[in-house]
Amino acid sequence: MKSLIAEKFHHVYGRSPEIVAYAPGRIEFIGNHTDYNGGTVLGAALDRGVWVAIAGRADGRRQFASDQRGAPVEVRAEDMAKRAGATSWVNYPLGVLAAMPGFGAKAPAGFDFLAMSNLPAGAGLSSSAAIELASALAFLEMAGERPPREIVVKIGKHAENNFVGVPCGILDQGVSGFGQKNRLVWIDCRGPVFETVPLPADAHFWIFNTHTKHALVDGLYAERHRECMAAAQALGVGLLVETDAAAVERDQARLTPEAFKRAKHIVDEIARVAESRSALARGDLAAVGRLLTASHRSSQFLFENSTAELDFLVDVLTATEHVFGARLTGGGFGGAVMAMTNGAFGEAQVQAVVAAYRARFGAAPDVLHTQTGDGATLL
């Protein structure tokens, strides 16, 4: 892929790139919306993602291009305003540039930039974190900086929170940054602390992308964030990780019905992350699968960030042979379902699921069979 993006870069800019970086997309394995509540989460870096190629310019001009967009977008160094419409994708690398000085790194002045992705759009696989981390590695390298991986991850999160405007936690950037093949990334979001957990060899991931709306910036994600913060305040804690299921039940009268459901989902989900880690250590994929499906039901009925399409897919998949469990992955409100299966799950099962979905909704989901992959790196 390095040679391919170099070829595309030359086609756009008439010269070769000086730096190429890569960062993977991620699957949120389990831990739905727990990260910004200070909880724990498990995620998997994928074997596909975003590549960024850059080359410096002496004239101070900044040009941004993508293999999925039209002509390059020029952004003056003094004009760091957030973009809208067709050029809004530029906000991800712009946000990284805006964040760098706050972490002691000088942002490069002029450059040509090209991003290339093989992640399906709108599937909840965090292409945003992938472009942020690949951009951060490339810009830092151009500036002569090699900070610890934790700092690179924090730069990406700062860009997403403070420039793009999504109040996400550390999950997406942390998994993209610390991923390893054949391992999951466990994050204690209060540190944050990053560890990797072995994934049993017979675990396979299948992504069923519904192409239903998955736009986190349009307010639903932020609304859930506000509801969780309000629930924590009503319960007398800073973050929901500081309470537990028994306390939420005991103090239910302090909460609105909505706040109770949000809080219960979060404290139960944090418990499911711990149970999943224990089951993975035992190699008990059947137990992990049950926890994945329970996570989805909690998202469906308590956090209410699922959709009819996602619920239908989980219903069909969990009734299908060779499936351990299934759940929505990512922020929700559309997007994709992840199924964890054994190696016997294959084309026959996929086509049965697709046919059922088409009969119900009149369109077929895109299906992606993916494996774990390594985290962000310079190439």
172 is catalytic: yes
Q: Own/partner pairs for 352-356, CB < 8 Å, 24+ apart?
A: 352/320, 353/208, 353/313, 353/316, 353/317, 353/320, 356/312, 356/316
Q: Which two three-digit tokens encode residue 275?
A: 């149970």
Ranges of each domain in the chain: 2-199, 204-370
Catalytic residue among 112, 172, 284, 366: 172
Preceding omega of 101 cis (within 30 degrees of 0): no
Distance CA 235, CA 66 (A): 46
pLDDT score for 214 = 52
Over residues 368-379, the mean pLDDT reads 92
The pLDDT score that the predictor gives to residue 122 is 62
Give me the amino acid identity at 316.
V
Question: How large is the average pLDDT for residues 272-284?
Answer: 96
Confidence of residue 79 (pLDDT cuts 50, 70, 90): confident
- How does pLDDT run across 117-133, given as a tens digit for each residue? 998 766 667 788 999 99
Q: Give dist(CA 366, CA 221) in Å, integer.
A: 24
The per-residue pLDDT for range 150-196, each reduced to its tens digit, is 999 999 999 999 988 887 778 899 999 999 999 999 999 998 999 99
**What confidence score (pLDDT) does residue 191 get?**
87
- High-pLDDT (> 70) share of the chain, %: 98
CATH architecture, domain defined by 2-199: 2-Layer Sandwich (3.30)
Chain-centroid distance, C-alpha 185 = 12
**Which residue did the predictor score with more confidence, 198 or 69?**
198
Dist. CA 229–CA 270, nearest whole Å? 16
> What is the spatial distance between Cα 23 and Cα 177, in angstroms, rounded to a whole number?
7
Query: 283 vs 199, 277, 288, 324, 373, CA distance in Å?
Result: 8, 10, 9, 13, 20
Q: What is the mean pLDDT of residues 72-94?
A: 86
CA 50 to chain centre: 13
Q: For 340-368, how does the pLDDT look when each residue is reduced to its tens digit (9 = 90+)?
A: 999 999 999 999 999 999 999 999 999 99
Query: Burial, 304: exposed, middle or buried (Cβ in 10 Å; 0-12, 13-18, 19+)?
Result: middle
Determine the distance from the C-alpha atom of residue 363 to the mean position of all C-alpha atoms in its chain, rounded to a whole number: 25
Give the mean pLDDT of 63-69: 89
Q: Give yes or no for residue 215 having a pLDDT over 60.
A: no
Whole-number pLDDT of residue 221: 81
> What does the pLDDT look like over 218-259, one tens digit per residue?
688 889 999 999 999 999 999 999 999 999 999 999 999 999
Q: According to the CATH classification, is domain 204-370 in 3.40.50.300?
A: no
What's the pLDDT tens digit per position in 295-343? 999 999 999 999 999 999 999 999 999 999 999 988 888 888 999 999 9
Decide: pTM greater than 0.85: yes
